[in-house]
Structure 1
Amino acid sequence: MIQVNSICKNYGKNHILNGATFNAKKGEYIAIVGANGCGKSTLLGILSGSRKSTSGSILYDGKDPIKNPKLFSDYVGYVPQDNPLMDKLSVLDNLRFWYCESTRNLDEDLKTGVPARFGLDSYKNYPVEKLSGGMRKRLSIACALAKSPPILILDEPGASLDIICKEDIKYYLKTYIKNGGTVIITSHEEAELDFCTRMYLLQNGILTELLDKPVGQKLMERMIAIHG
């Protein structure tokens, strides 16, 4: 489903990504790990269409979203680290904005869909600025899934969240990949990494796959590789 080939990103003379390459199939959970500032968020931004690469190619089901940017919104649900929500509006109004181009029925989803699963039906009239960090993250994910995208990209979704919220997100991700969705995630949370199908270390702008080892050992090798 996903083919990422030789993605490079330069900011002036700074080379953030130096030929990042990987692929993913339906139902896979791809984890990208690395030190803060190594370019993980930049890579995910490029995969979501919110940033442009300097060079390289991306194919979703053999289609080129760089040539046809609408494919990004058709294929990808993206949850960045920063809050993508409109704080002054209610939960319901934020959902309405994201559902406006969706074939899904928001009223039904507030009863039985992802918004209901994350408990947003009980908070639908709350302004976003009054929500806890956990509820904001749940809402961000629900908005990203409004169009039922086959790919979900998450940039450190569990950062600074309580255990219950982390478990809610983890449980949903397991369901999403079981139903054929593809997840690409960056994280420092072992609980979010322990069921990944493949893990990549991003270092010096290059992705290196960590092969056939328990997650704990992978994480240890990651830290050794980063910090020497």
Structure 2
Amino acid sequence: MDIAQAKVIVTGGASGLGAATATHFAEAGAKVTIFDRDAVRGGDMAQTPDISFAEVDVTSEDSVAAGVALAVAAMGGITAVVNCAGIVTGAKTVGSKGPFPLDAFQRTIDINLVGAFNVARLAAVEMAKNDPDADGERGAIVNTASVAAFDGQKGQAAYSASKAGIAGLSLPMARDMGTLGIRVNAIAPGLFLTPMLESLGPEMMEELAKDVIFPRRLGRPEEFARMARFMVEMPYLNGETVRLDGALRLP
């Protein structure tokens, strides 16, 4: 897929990894529609040429359907999706205040896992309408897992479960979509320099970076964006979850 001709939905595109991806793709010539609940930041992002914004709740079928319709109208179709929308929830299964609140666990799964599947399935309906290229390809989907899917820490039961679900989606969804000419892959990022980590302060970020093998630093959002672009452009990469973590293995 020629990135300069791509028409891409980026969920969670108003900040963090999603914003970096939306910006990178637009700078490469792609048309981008951001799905996010943050209308202020989303509106700011939409001031960039070739970026449009739809206020979307990824857990809602009606909201995503409306967003997909807006994206089709704004871009003239959809050829790729990069799912970056997600939240982090920290609590032990049983802690000093009692058991993990079930509603918090459910919300994490709904946004991180169900939300990604919801967007992917509805956008794929539109991708299937595209004319196939020489390989028969009509679209590409990139989901965001995490190293926590494999190296989950204490207090990450909900987050790790949601991201393990994303990793588990890659192959069966790719098999489902093969006859439609739609590829599906996932990125499992490690520790990245996002607003969430920046809020911890420079000393804590430096301490976290010590666990990264090489390069011994936090990942840069633009590096995630470059991997997402690679997955969209590489026609033979399908059904894979790729760790992007500097060889980080959490204890």
User: Taking structure 1 as the reference length, what is the TM-score of the superposition?
Assistant: 0.33
Please identify which structure carries the higher strand content: 1
Please identify which structure carries the higher helix content: 2
User: Taking structure 2 as the reference length, what is the TM-score of the superposition?
Assistant: 0.31
